[in-house]
Amino acid sequence: MGRFANSTDRSSGLEVVRDWNGVAQVVLRSPKGASARVSLHGGQVVSWKNDRGEEHLFTSSKAFFKPPNAMRGGIQMCFPQFGYSGTLERHGFARNLFWALDDEHPPINHNDNGSKVSVDLILKPSEDDLKCWPHCFEFRLRVSLSKDGDLSLISRIRNVNGKPFSFSFAYHTYLSVSDISEVRIEGLETLDYLDNLSHKERFTEQGDAITFESEVDRVYVSSPNVVAVLDHEKKHSFVIRKEGLPDVVVWNPWEKKSRTMVDFGDEEYKQMLCVDAAAVERAITLKPGEEWTGKMELSAVSSTNCSDHLDHPVNI
């Protein structure tokens, strides 16, 4: 961590700063004024703002901001476990570790014609990490901001172990909303979901859209690659595009659970919604030398234009 100093490169749209704990963060800025901020603690996206400076990601007022705890909010990297689905700590260890800037950043096979500003991070296991999860890996993360302010994340996980290993994964994404009672999700209708409030029992979604009147904690399986979160009061929508991530996790703790969470305000459930691009139902298995890629792109658009984005093909 000591090699990072506060620095600015306006021509590249990148700035490296430090938070109040001295942890390095990379700030990405688009030519039109949108921005994103990525912490080297956890590889976590801690901010994503539009060109008017409006924050799209939720962060709890009671979040812990000091390592090793992951901050309650933003976009967390859940690897090699999501939730309590294995023997590790909840959501795995990647979100609690320090990442490094990836100086090698092997090329990704896509052509953005210089229209994005990006930062590349890398995580490799330490000896202590190998004691709790004995598998060697390289986790490369690219976070990009387009000229129009769209946020994209590309994760590549390579097995550099001598034997296969399996993992689950999620971009644990806290979206900021005006009022959860005024929000609906489109794109998950008629799908099966695993209900974590009913011991992962399988149900089929019956509604025309998902709306919220109580606690929700579900994994929608075999989901389409484009999902929209419509916020009626703000009159805008989040469009989520994904590749390599078959599931969508939807979570809001509601009032009762919120009061039991020490790093979450009692009433803050009204201003947030987690919609995660994920691979949870079926574990991903990599043989030695194999690499997996999972992609997500977030756009904030006017609700009147949302249907156009839902019909747009995935091209992250």
Q: Where are the domains of the chain?
A: 32-102+116-310
pLDDT of residue 275: 98
Average pLDDT across each block of 10 residues of the chain; the chain has 316 residues. List them in order. Answer: 40 82 92 96 97 97 86 96 82 94 66 78 94 95 97 98 95 98 96 97 95 98 97 93 98 97 96 98 97 98 68 58
Cross-strand pairs, 232: none
pLDDT of residue 1: 32
| Domain at 32-102+116-310: CATH architecture | Distorted Sandwich (2.70)
Please, which contacts does 307-315 make with residues 24 or more away whose CB atoms are closer than 8 Å?
309/226, 309/228, 309/237, 309/239, 310/186, 310/187, 310/226, 310/228, 310/239, 312/226, 312/241, 314/225, 314/226, 314/241, 314/242, 314/243
Give the pair of three-digit tokens for residue 295. Answer: 């992609």
pLDDT of residue 57: 98
Instruction: Tell me the C-alpha to C-alpha distance, in Å, between residue 145 and each of 32, 105, 116, 312.
Output: 11, 17, 5, 19
pLDDT of residue 85: 76
pLDDT of residue 303: 75
